[in-house]
Structures are given as C-alpha cells and as structure tokens.
A and B are shown apart, each in its own frame.
Chain A
Amino acid sequence: MDDALTVHRLHFAFTVTYHYLFPQLTMGLAPLIVIFKSLYLWKGEERFNIAARFWAKIFAVSFLFGVITGIPMEFQFGTNWAAFARFAGGVIGQTLAMEGVFAFFLESAFLGLFLYGEKRLGKKGHWFAALMVFVGSWLSGFFIIATDAWMQHPVGYTLMPDGSVMLQSFWALISNPWAWRQYCHNMGGAVVTGSFAMASLGAFYVLTKAQAEYGKLFVRVGITVALIASCWQMFPTGDWQGKMVALHQPVTLAAMEGLFHSDEGAPMVLIGQPNLETQTLDNSIEVPYVLSILSYKRWNAEVKGLDAFPKENWPDNIALLYYSYHIMVGLGTLFSAIMALAVFLLWRKKLFTTAPVLWVLMLAFPMPFIANTAGWISAEVGRQPWLVYNLMRTEHGISPMVSSGNGMFTLLGFMGMYTVLSILFLFIMWREIEHGPAYLDSLDAELAPAAGAVN
C-alpha cells in the first residue's frame, strides 16, 4: 500500500472516477436541453422554455463540479505521471491541447451566454448558445476519448532514439478506429445517464403529485431518449467495442469473461465468481457458444483463454475487471428492458397510472452512473499492465521524484475535498428539485412586472 506506484494509481483512479460522475450527466443533459429549446422555438409554448431553464440550472451546477474536478485531471499527467507525460507527450499533447483550444473556450464562453444572457440574446440567439454548449461539451469528450484510445490502441507514432514517441500522422491519431467506436459508446452512455436522470425526476414529480405536468413532460422525453440510447449501447456500439477488444486486446477479453482456458465455442458467462487460486469460475451460469459468436461471428471459433498468454501480460486485477464488465453489461441489458416497457406503457397511455413502473423509473437514476463507471473501469483496468498498450508498462509511468508520502498527502486532501463537494452537490440539487420548474414559472410572473417598473 505504501509504494509510490499504488498511491499514484489510486490517486488517478479516485480523482478520475469522481470527476466523470459530472461530465456524463452534463454531456447527457446538453442534447436534451437543446431538444427543449428547439421545441420552444418550434411550438412557442412557454412550458418548453421553462423546462429548458430548469434543466439548465441542474446542468450549470453539474458543469461547475465537472470543471473543478476536471482541472486536476489535466494537471495529474504532469504531477503524478511525469514519466508517462514525457514519454507520450509527443502524441497525446496534440489531443489534450486541442481540447483546450477547441472545446474549453467554446464551452465556457457560450455557457456564460446561455445561463445569463437569455434576455440579451433573444429566442434564436439563446437556442444557438444552448446548441454551442452541447457541441463544446461533446467536442471535449472526443479529445479525451481520442487520448484514451491512443493509450488503448496506439497509432500514428514513431519511436524516438530517447525512447519516447513522436507523432507521425495527425490524421491517424484523429481517425483512430478505436477512438470513434469508443466515442460512440461513451457518448451513448452519457445520454443514458442524462435521460434516466430526466425520467427519474419526472417520475418523482408525477408520484409526489407536485408539478405533475412538468413531471409528465420529463418522463416522456426522458424515456424516449433513454430507450434509443440504451439500445444504441448494446447494438451497434457495445458490439463494436467487444470486437475491438477481441481483436486488439485478446488477453483483456479473456479476463473480462473469466475465461481461464482457451475454448472452441466459448460460452458467455451471465454470473459467476472468478476463482484466481484454482483458475476456475465458481457458481457460474453460462450460455454456450455465445462468446465465440459475438467475438468472431462463428459458433465454434476459438476464443483464447488467459492460459494462452504469458502471466506477466495479464491484467493485474482480474476480479475487478471481470465484475465491472459484467455489471456494465448486466445493467445495460436491464436499461433497455425497463425503457422498452415504459415506452410501451406510454404508447398505450397507461404509464402515468402504473405506479410500480414510475417507482422503478424514479429509483433507477443511480444505475447509469454505476454502469458508466463500471464501463470505464473495464476499459482502464483492462488495459493493465500497460499504460500505453504494448509500449509502456504502468509502473514505468509515474513521476520519479514524487514520493508515496506526498502522493498520499494529496490523495487524502482530494478525498476530503470531494466529500465536501458531494455534500454540497446533493444539498444544492435537492433544493433545485424541491423548487422545480414551477418555481421558475412563478418567479417569472413575479419578475416581469417588477422589471417593467424599473424600466
């Protein structure tokens, strides 16, 4: 526990896991806010604008928390992972710097306009500001994914005499097939989080009978988008991810599936606990041949097990990798089922009288956060023991001069700071939810004559 490698890994894992709770919500909500603003432009009904304004408040708080927990991420490449930063800077410096120049400026400038400039910009201008906030946050996501994708599947580089890598083809870096597939899957995941949050809050308003009209609107938009996004996560994007891992990281696939021994016609494991001592899967329920079909499109294709690879190249936390992967897939499947049922009931006009389903929608909001987090753990733990796949091992990437004691000091500092952040976030969210969109409606009515009087 007190070696520097473990401390630096925990440091990054903790801060990035916490950070990504916020961007997945903001990247998911951004297109939904654009939908409300577009409906307002198109139909001219004030309630769509109030809905957009309400979600903009939730968005703004989440965005703030995303920004302040995100700044440490960019710093940590240098502070905690200096050897990696030096090794890979010639390549990933591109994508990280581009994020700053293209995405951050766009996002921050238009967020200020979107949140405080509704009166100054007018209807169309405000819609455009919302659209630009959406574009900015999604661009930001792309540059981060492109950086991670290069670590998963390095392309477009040459090795230099001093052992570092240098960019050889900008185009190869930007068009990395891993990046585009991972981007599609990741952004789908963010939309799942955003739309579940919307549906969940809508169900809460319907069930508490407070602001039920807005609640119904949120449920309708939320479940429709959530159904599309949940299906998109399984097919085609989840399928793409799986095939890419099978092709480029076969040892990771074996560990994710808990496949200790190579197998022709490998099964898909639904549940079971990997037993690393005996190298078997305990209490497993399996569907025969499915893994072979999914990975290689043939029922009897050979899927390589962990035993086909040298042990020093196995991911170093197989149990965590196995569980996080299965949690992601399991939850993803449930999401589609729940949302299909909800959309069906909505179509039959029975949803708002079927309390049990509304209860499920209301209580489901933490699940996408768990699924997204588990997905990222699968990707990053799956990449181990490599920091850059097949090029740099994780233990060679840490800052040589930063001691474990200093790392522990700042890790504890972040834990304390983030505990405070969590309490503040929940507190403020609860107040916004309690007020709800109807409060903005009443505020508007109050303000209008007052503003008139001043002018």
Chain B
Amino acid sequence: METLWFVLVAFMLTAYVVLDGFDLGAGAIHYVVGRTSQERRSVLRAIGPVWDGNEVWLLAAGGALYFAFPVVYSSSFSGFYLPLMMVLWLIMLRGLGVELRAHIDNDLWRTAWDVVFSGASVLLAIFLGAALGNVVRGVPLDASGYFFEPLWTTFRPEANAGILDWYTVLAGVVALVTLATHGANYVAVKTDGAVNERCRHIAKFGAMTLVVLTAASLAATVFVRPTILDNFRAHAWGAVFPLAAVVSLGAMILFRIRVNDVNAFVASAGYIISMLGGAAFALFPVLLPASTSAEYDLTIHNSATGPYAMSVGIVWWTIGMTLAACYFVFLYRSFRGKVTLDGEGY
C-alpha cells in the first residue's frame, strides 16, 4: 500500500511538471518568441484557459503527499522554508501577470506584466529543478526527522549544504532548459506565423542542448550520490527509464528536423516523464534522503500514514482522478486547435 501511494504521489508530481511545465516554459520563452505585444498575447492565449488547471496539479500532488506521507511533508516544507516562500511569491506574481495583462489596454501596463510573467516563470523553472536537486542530493535530517536549510552555504554539495550548491544550480539549469523546450514545443503546436517559427527554432536548439545537459547532470548525480545506482543494479528493468529518456530526446530532435510540432511535444513530455520516473525509481523506497546518515532517511516505511487511511484514500482518489481526467479531456477538447486573437479574453 505504501508502495502504491509512492507511485501515485510520483505520478501526480510528474503530471504537474509535464502540464504546468509547458506553461512555465511558455512563460520562460515568452519574451524571446513574442517580439510584439500582439505576439506575446498569442503566447498567453495558448496557455490562457489551461494554466490554472495545470497549476492545480501542484496543490493536488502536495495534498496527496501530505495525506500519504505526513512526516515527509512536514519535514520538507519546514526544511525548505525560505525557497518555498519564494516559490509562493513567484506563483502569485506569475498568476497576476497572466490574468491582469489584458485588463487594461495600455502598452506600459502590458509590458510590465509581460516582464513579471516571464521573469517569474524563469525563476520558478530554476527553483523546481533546484528542489529536485536537493531531494536527490539529500538534506541534513537528524534523529528528530526535521532539518533546516539556508539558501546557500559554500556552494558545495556536502553535509551542511544550502539549497543552492553547484549540483542543485545545475539541476535548476537543466530544468529551465527542459521546460523552455517543452513550452516552445507546446506554443509551436498552438500558434502559427512568426511565433510558431521562433518556437520551432528554440525547441530545436533546446533539444540539442539537452543532450549535453542530460549527460552532464547524470554524471554529476552519480558523483554527488553514488548510491543512486543501487536500484538500477538490483532491478535491471529500471533501465527502461534512461532508455526512454534517450529515445524520447532523440525523437524530439528527429521531429524537430521533420517539423512535426505535435509529435515533438509528445516527445518532450516523454522525456520529462522518463527523467522524473527514473529519479523516483532510483530513490525508492526513500522519499527524502538524509545527507547526514542513511539511518535518518525518510522512507515510505517510517513516514507513511496508517493502513486504514491509505485504503480509504485509494477509493476516493480513484473516483476523484477519474472525474478530473474527464474534466481535463473535455477542457482540452473544447480549446483544441490553433489560437486566434479575436473574441474573448487575454
């Protein structure tokens, strides 16, 4: 049952990154692909009706994490206090940027919100990557099951590391490039003309860069945390994750060369899923590794809620997610196709 909930929480977090990832990425490239106010408007139109629904996955995943593994939730949220609060402020600014831009027909107003939206998106992508980097590297947990990390210390991934060290910064850069590419692939699907052209260009360049960055980040991960390979050694089937990552990255480059926007987007989603899936596979059964000593690791065994609560949860989770899947299919079907600039909103 604990294993099942580990998979469900990992699934929801991955869904969050794939879905909100493309609108974060769209934000990150917002200023590069949209040279004029009208072009930037078409980027916002592409994500307009769906970004809020995507962001909800973060809340739902957070809720599921709290429900299934309350100890991990309380440790990680209080330990990552400062960066999480900054993430909150960035999420606020980003939401304001998307929604308030269209309220007043004034160039100064629109430019200001474009800058806020774009800047917050870039920083959020980096923060998300750095957060994952912290989890993979491990945090200074002690016997109480709590820790607190300052924003930075020596920038070296050692026992008293801060949120930012060279490893987590690298993870942040990987996340930014991954999501920017993912976002460019999405916006390319939803637009045409000059914006579409620039998105294709960025996505192609991003995919190539990712080849180098993926190799570098994997090498760095093995260097920072050699035990990360243990699960792959013990269960050979885990090799599907890195294989899938390589295949989808290759497919993304291929589809970019063949100028097939939809397939390239699917490939970048596949790349994110296989990378995150691989990370979850490597960590299992640990949810939050301790950089101090392996005995303080928070695992699915020492941090889970009771068996009764977990079985009740499976029932409502299944019902709720089936309903949610219906809403989202309906939502995306209703707004399918390229965006146009007439009519309602943004």
Bound Cα distance from A112 to B56, whole angstroms: 13
In B299-324, the 8 Å CB interface with A consists of 305-306, 308-309, 312-313, 316-317, 320-321, 323-324
Chain B 52-73 interface mask (CB, 8 Å, partner A; 1/0):
1101100111111011101101
Q: How distant is the Cα of A400 from the Cα of B81 in the complex, in angstroms? A: 12
Which residue of chain A lies nearest to B340 when distances are taken between CB atoms in the complex? A454
On chain B, the residues within 8 Å of A94 by CB distance are 67, 309, 312-313
Q: Are A112's CB and B53's CB within 8 A?
A: yes
Q: What residues of A have a CB within 8 angstroms of the CB of B100 in the complex?
A: 424, 428
CA distance A101 to B323 in the complex (A): 9
Q: Which of A79-110 contact B (CB under 8 A)?
A: 79-80, 82-83, 85-86, 88-91, 93-94, 96-102, 104-106, 108-110
Interface size on A, residues (CB 8 A): 71
Residues in B whose Cβ lies below 8 Å from that of A170: 309, 312
A104 touches B309 (CB 8 A): no
Among A112, A118, A428, contact of B331 (Cβ-Cβ < 8 Å): A112
Residue of A72, A89, A116, A121 near B88 (CB, 8 A) is A72
Partner of B103, one of A68, A431, A451: A431
A92 to B343, CA, bound (A): 44
Contact, CB under 8 Å: A97 / B66: yes
In whole angstroms, what is the CA distance A64 to B52 when docked? Answer: 9
Tell whether, in the assembled complex, residue A168 and residue B308 are in contact, meaning their CB atoms are under 8 Å apart.
yes
User: For chain A residues 142-197, which have a beta carbon within 8 Å of chain B?
Assistant: 160, 164, 166-168, 170
Bound together, the chains give a CA A250 to CA B99 distance in angstroms of 47
Instruction: Pick the residue among B56, B313, B343 that contacts A451 (CB under 8 A).
Output: B343
B270 interface residue, CB < 8 Å from A?
no
Please tell me the number of chain B residues within 8 Å of chain A, measured between CB atoms.
66
Among B62, B308, B342, point to the contact of A100 (Cβ < 8 A).
B62
Q: Residue of A at shortest CB range from B149?
A: A401
The reply to whether A96 and B66 contact each other, CB–CB distance below 8 Å, is yes
Chain B residues, Cβ within 8 Å of A75: 62, 77, 84-85, 88
Interface membership of A413, Cβ < 8 A: yes
Contacts of A117 in B (CB 8 A): 49, 334-335
List the A residue with the shortest CB-CB distance to B52: A108
List, in ascending order, chain A residues with CB within 8 A of B66's CB. Answer: 77-78, 85, 89, 93, 96-97
B104-125 interface code vs A (CB 8 A; 1 in, 0 out): 1000000000000000000000
* CB of A172 to closest CB in B, whole Å: 12
Bound Cα distance from A1 to B90, whole angstroms: 28
A399:B103 contact, CB within 8 angstroms: no
- Compute how far the CA of A28 lies from the CA of B309 in the bound complex, rounded to whole angstroms: 33
Contact bitstring A399-440, B, C-beta under 8 A = 1, else 0: 111110010011001000100010010001001000000000
Chain B nearest Cβ from A317, distance in angstroms: 25
Q: Which residues of B contact A403 (CB under 8 A)?
A: 148
B81 engages A167 (CB within 8 Å) = no
User: Which chain A residues border B334 with CB–CB below 8 Å?
Assistant: 113, 117, 120-121
Q: Does A445 make an interface contact (CB < 8 A)?
A: no
Q: Which chain B residue shows the least CB distance to A167?
A: B309
Number of A-B contacts (CB under 8 A): 224
A67, A89, A451 — most chain B CB neighbours (10 Å): A89
The 8 A CB mask of B161-172 against A (1 = contact, 0 = none) is 000000000000
Given contacts A68-B92, A170-B312, A417-B89, contact A90 B148 (CB under 8 A): no
Residues of B within 8 Å of A424, CB to CB, are 96, 100
**Known pairs A85-B73, A86-B71, A108-B56; A71 contacts B91 (CB<8 A):** yes
If A101-B317, A109-B330, A431-B103 touch, whether A89 touches B91 (CB-CB below 8 Å) is no
- For residue B64, which residue of chain A has the nearest CB? A97
Which residues of B have CB within 8 Å of A102? 316, 320, 323
B74 and A401 contact, CB distance less than 8 A: no
A68–B96 touching, CB < 8 Å: yes
List chain B residues, Cβ under 8 A from A454.
Answer: 342
- In the complex, what residues of A have CB within 8 A of residue B53's CB? 105, 108-109, 112
Is A109 touching B328 in the complex (CB atoms < 8 A)?
Answer: yes
Q: Which of A86, A115, A167, A410 contacts B312 (CB 8 A)?
A: A167
Residues in A whose Cβ lies below 8 Å from that of B89: 413, 417
Q: Contacts A71-B88, A100-B63 given: A166-B306 contact, CB under 8 Å? A: yes
Q: Please name the residue on chain B nearest to A101 by beta carbon.
A: B320
Contact assessment for B52 and A97 in the assembled complex, using a CB-CB cutoff below 8 Å: no
Q: Provide 6 A-B residue pairs closer than 8 Å at the C-beta atoms, listed in order of the A residue.
A: A68-B96, A79-B85, A86-B145, A105-B327, A424-B96, A447-B343
Q: What residues make up the interface of B, taking CB atoms closer than 8 Å to A? A: 48-50, 52-53, 55-56, 59-64, 66-68, 70-71, 73-79, 81-82, 84-85, 88-89, 91-92, 95-96, 99-100, 103-104, 144-148, 305-306, 308-309, 312-313, 316-317, 320-321, 323-324, 327-328, 330-331, 334-335, 342-345
By a beta-carbon cutoff of 8 Å, the part of chain A in contact with chain B is 60-61, 64, 67-69, 71-72, 74-75, 77-80, 82-83, 85-86, 88-91, 93-94, 96-102, 104-106, 108-113, 115-121, 160, 164, 166-168, 170, 399-403, 406, 409-410, 413, 417, 421, 424, 428, 431, 447, 450-451, 454
- 18 extra interface residue pairs, beta carbon distance < 8 Å, beyond A82-B74, A89-B305, A113-B49: A82-B77, A89-B73, A90-B306, A93-B70, A94-B312, A97-B63, A97-B313, A98-B316, A100-B59, A105-B323, A109-B328, A112-B53, A119-B344, A400-B144, A401-B148, A409-B82, A410-B81, A417-B92
